[in-house]
Amino acid sequence: MSQRIVPTVKKRQIIELADSGKRMDGRTLTDYREIKIQTGIVDKAEGSAMVSIGGTKVVAGVKFEIGDPFPDIPNEGVMQVGAEFVPFASPDFEPGKPDEVAVELARVVDRGLRESKILETSKLCLIPGKKVWIVHVDVYILDHCGNLIDTAALAALSAMLTATMPEAAVEGENIRLTGNRLPMPITGIPINVTLAKIGNRLFVDPSLEEEEVLDCRFSVAFKENGMLCAIQKGESGYFTPEEILRAVEIAKDKSQEIRKKVVELLKLNDGAVGGS
């Protein structure tokens, strides 16, 4: 049976330190850890990115596959987001265990991309009603040092933004790949920001030791135009409505800061992709 004595002591320390605006690793309550983005690391994928936030590391890959459309949207391509926890990412992951945490992570990353409507799925149709491109976006958690959601969302986004798509020539019922690459039909840079509540304080970008003692978690994604496009409260604590309003305020600022960083790191032409 799990023991919770150490976390209780740790929690007290974290809260006390926060009273003077500090954190165990020296950050302020609203600081992110260092963010690194490396794209194109898997050249067999149509897009890929290795992203780290502090010690947390996630790799994402984008692959195209020809498949069937959904019957209710016969002329649109399909985006499928998956999340896998590589067992070496944390001593707590067991190989092969289906995990609600992985399912939630995949679905939160999915919603951040999907609801912001950055992918023009109508441009992924090959033969209307019959064949479309399936875009697989898979994130692999390689190192878990806290804040998986933001890291995974950023990895998926970076892989998508730097992906290209295969050109297909459609003649009747036949689909032939020309070998050329086309730009991804993508616009926008939705950014997810996660905060943890510990005691009655909010911590941006929680570290693993903060996550071990948190009360609950709040994630919100913003589009470049300031629209909110996904929210997820997590874990078995609660927020007051006032705390949530405050969390959204903080996250809005942080999302702009990170978006700037992404534009810079990915050398995005600000006008072409997701002009803010």
Site for another protein in 22-81 (CB under 8 A): 41-45, 48, 55, 57, 59, 61-65
Establish if 172 lies at the interface with another protein (CB under 8 A): no
Q: How far is the CB of 70 from another protein (least distance, A)?
A: 11
Instruction: Kindly tell me which of 116 and 121 has the beta carbon lying closer to another protein.
Output: 116
Q: Determine the Cα–Cα distance for residues 263 and 261; give it in Å rounded to an integer.
A: 5
Beta bridge partners of 192: 221
Name which position in 19, 34, 96, 267 contacts another protein (CB under 8 A).
96
User: Using CB under 8 A, which of the segments 94-102, 125-133, 166-174, 268-276 binds another protein?
Assistant: 94-102
Q: How far is the CB of 43 from another protein (least distance, A)?
A: 7
The gap from C-alpha 183 to its chain's centroid, in whole angstroms, comes to: 21
DSSP 121-164: GGGGEEETTTEEEEEEEEEEEEE-SS-HHHHHHHHHHHHHHT-E
Structural element, H or E, at residue 252: helix 241-265
Establish if 88 lies at the interface with another protein (CB under 8 A): yes
Q: Collapsing DSSP states into helix, strand and coil, what is residue 11?
A: helix
Q: Collapsing DSSP states into helix, strand and coil, what is residue 30?
A: coil
Q: CB of 46 within 8 A of CB of 166?
A: yes
Instruction: Kindly tell me which of 177 and 269 has the beta carbon lying closer to another protein.
Output: 177
* Binders in 103-132 for another protein, by CB under 8 A: 103-104, 106-107, 111, 115-117
Establish if 238 lies at the interface with another protein (CB under 8 A): yes
User: Using CB under 8 A, which of the segments 16-24, 95-103, 123-131, 262-270 binds another protein?
Assistant: 95-103
